Amino acid sequence: MNERMGVAPRLAVRKVHAAYGPYRALFDVSLHVGAGEVVALLGANGAGKTTIARVVSGLLAPTRGAVFLDGESIGGERPYRIARMGVAHVPEGRSVFSSLTVEENLTLAFRQQLAAREVSSALDEAYVVFPRLRERRAQPAGTLSGGEQRMLALARVLVRPPKVLVADEPSLGLAPVVVADVYRTLDRIRSDGTALLLIEQHVHQAATIADRVVVLKRGRVTFEGPVSALDDSVLTEAIGDQVASGDSPSGSSEPTPPAEDADPFS
């Protein structure tokens, strides 16, 4: 991807503003991700990261600005249409059908993406990436642990690479050994040409595969550049000492009451 040479990035967010009712969450945000590129979107809770994910996937309409996929505006499209265009969104949290088994969750997802003859091989591939899911294949998804439900949510989109993958906190609730597997899979997907917008609080984990970094603070971009240019002063100012040092933030992902202009759901 090279905008200077006139090649449109796979995903582009242009001067986007967004709000939840009276709470303004994003202010003039612009970013882009090229095919086969990983951009890590970093920031403290309430910075607006999840709001960007929702704008890209069509779950939240921007109040101003636009979103482009391969140079074509997707603003105003319904989420299901954006998904069919090749934008996959793995939201923060578990996002599974709790009454269906693990295999039924996967089969339902793969039938929407693949030809019928490909579903069986996709299931096998999902179980190779996440062996625990094979062990739980006949178990209702709602009875899985939090980490296992996270694996299931990821497996539904990681087996067949989309044009764009928005991964919101993919390591949330996972053991370190599983996080390593997830990141190896993300890196493989990037090598297949997917544009990956990676939302993470584990900064050093994100930096292992990211090409560039965008830092948000209170709904505004405060830094954009290569990972090599990201120093501790930028991280500490935008994210805080705990996350900048590589430590995990406090365990709960539940939103706190938002301050004015903060993202109440990030």
pLDDT tens column, 46-74: 899 999 999 999 999 999 999 999 999 99
State the Cα–Cα distance between residues 63 and 26, nearest whole angstrom: 9
Q: Who contacts 261 (Cβ-Cβ below 8 Å, separation ≥6)?
A: 23, 24, 25, 27, 218, 219
What pLDDT is attached to residue 237? 62
Of 124 and 148, more confident:
124
Mean model confidence pLDDT for the chain: 83
What pLDDT is attached to residue 114? 80
Give me the DSSP letters along 183-238.
HHHHHHHHHTT-EEEEE-S-HHHHHTT-SEEEEEETTEEEEEEEGGG--HHHHHHH
What pLDDT is attached to residue 25? 95
Q: Who contacts 27 (Cβ-Cβ below 8 Å, separation ≥6)?
A: 17, 219, 220, 261
pTM: 0.80
Among residues 157, 155, 178, 177, which one has the least CA distance to residue 166?
Answer: 157
Q: Are 16 and 27 in contact (CB under 8 A)?
A: no
The arithmetic mean of pLDDT across residues 228-256, rounded, is 55
State the Cα–Cα distance between residues 98 and 223, nearest whole angstrom: 39
Quick one: three-class SS letters along 98-159?
CCCEHHHHHHHHHHHHCCHHHHHHHHHHHHHHCHHHHHCCCCEHHHCCHHHHHHHHHHHHHC
Rg, Å, the chain Cα set: 18
Do β-strands 220-226 and 212-217 pair in parallel, antiparallel, or remain unpaired?
A: antiparallel
Do β-strands 195-199 and 38-42 pair in parallel, antiparallel, or remain unpaired?
A: parallel
**What is the percentage of the chain residues whose pLDDT exceeds 90?**
48
pLDDT level of residue 219 (50, 70, 90 thresholds): very high
The arithmetic mean of pLDDT across residues 141-148, rounded, is 86
Among residues 154, 166, 150, 164, which one has the least CA distance to residue 195?
Answer: 164
pLDDT tens column, 190-210: 998 999 999 987 788 888 899
Burial of 48 (0-12, 13-18, 19+ CB in 10 A): buried
Question: CA torsion sign, 238 to 241 to 246 to 247?
Answer: negative
Length of the chain as a residue count: 266
